[in-house]
Amino acid sequence: MRTTDHGGAPPFQRLYINVDHVATVRQARRGADPDPFAAARACEEAGADGITAHLREDRRHIQDADVHRLRAGIRTAFNLEMACTDEMLAIAERLRPHQATLVPEKREEITTEGGLDVRRDAARLAAGIARLNAAGIRSSLFVDPDEPSIRQSHALGARAVELHTGTYANRPGDPATLAALVTAADLGASLGLAIHAGHGLTVANVGPVAAIGPVEELNIGHSIVSRALFVGLADAVREMRRAMDAARRSA
Ligand code: PXP
């Protein structure tokens, strides 16, 4: 893992870019363009530390062929987002991404709407995590930033949690949403979990999340792909990277 060059500052934070939104535009015409693999490579060239793609059960954006190309061809780490189902677990076992992030999935939702219900789905999640860990895939659970979710994720054997930042993003100016992320990150780190975060992050709101010490990875998609329409993907990635680094330096 890289470290920062400003001695004494918090460790380097990884920026993983979610390329689902590129596939969404392609699927509007069911053609070949824009190509999420080409976008992933452009993101890497601009400084992304990893690429995230969500293979949904309904295949509404990312397709099976995409995850195979991403796994085989990107130069950084591949984080496969997926539901904890037999079908997806079997795909992950064949594909062997560097990391798999388990997320809840509802067919009617526009995007992932909240963290996993780690208590209701405990047995299924524990079995899924065990399969991922056995395959040498780093397991992460997308959870809401609350104490029971963090403790249960640890008990289930996950290596990492991705804290859902959607509530924070949707309620600008509400200090409670940031405080919840800070408390959850500290608790998770104290239990030995790696701490990731993501959903709804933008250049304007990423700073306070990037500044949370234990947060070692951010997963960001929509705002970067949206901004890319105006400034290009490389500059959109660099703008995000700069915003993260500035917040981390002054933390
Ligand atoms: N993390 C998870 C688990 C997600 O489902 C998503 C949305 O695809 C993201 C991060 C990225 O969110 P956004 O596209 O809002 O940046």
* Nearest atom in ligand 1 to 219's CA: 10
8 A C-beta contact, residue 105 and residue 56:
yes
Task: Report how far residue 228's alpha carbon sits from residue 11's, in angstroms, rounded to the nearest whole number.
Answer: 28
Mutating to test ligand 1, I would choose from 20, 168, 195, 219 the residue with most ligand atoms within 8 A of its C-beta, which is 219
Structural domains of the chain in order of their starting residue, each with its CATH number: 14-250 (3.20.20.70)
pLDDT at 68 over 70: yes
* Nearest atom in ligand 1 to 112's CA: 5
What are the catalytic residues?
54, 81, 199
> pTM for the complete prediction?
0.94
8 A C-beta contact, residue 96 and residue 71:
yes
Q: What are the DSSP calls for 80-97, one per residue?
A: EEE-SSHHHHHHHHHH--
pLDDT at 84 over 90: yes
pLDDT at 215: 98
Q: What are the DSSP calls for the chain, one per residue?
A: ----SSTTSPPP-EEEEE-HHHHHHHHTTTSS-S-HHHHHHHHHHTT-SEEEEE--TT-SSS-HHHHHHHHHH-SSEEEEEE-SSHHHHHHHHHH--SEEEE----TT-SS--S---TTTTHHHHHHHHHHHHHTTPEEEEEE-SSHHHHHHHHHTT-SEEEEE-HHHHHSTT-HHHHHHHHHHHHHHHHTT-EEEEESS--TTTHHHHHTSTTEEEEEE-HHHHHHHHHH-HHHHHHHHHHHHHHHHHT-
Ligand 1, CB cutoff 6 Å, lining residues:
18, 20, 54, 81, 101, 103, 111-112, 142, 162, 198-201, 219-223
| Residue 20 Cα to ligand 1 middle (Å) | 9
Q: Ligand 1 atom 6: the closest Cα is on which residue?
A: 199
| Residue 94 Cα to ligand 1 middle (Å) | 24
Angle at 242 between CA 241 and CA 244, to 5 degrees: 65
pLDDT at 8: 40
* Nearest atom in ligand 1 to 103's CA: 3
Distance, CA of 133 to chain centre: 18
What does the pLDDT look like over 39-57, one tens digit per residue?
A: 999 999 999 999 999 999 9
Q: Ligand 1 atom 3: the closest Cα is on which residue?
A: 142
| Residue 110 Cα to ligand 1 middle (Å) | 12
Start-to-end C-alpha separation, the chain: 20
What does the pLDDT look like over 165-208, one tens digit per residue?
A: 999 999 998 999 999 999 999 999 999 999 999 999 999 999 99
What does the pLDDT look like over 103-120, one tens digit per residue?
A: 998 766 777 678 999 988
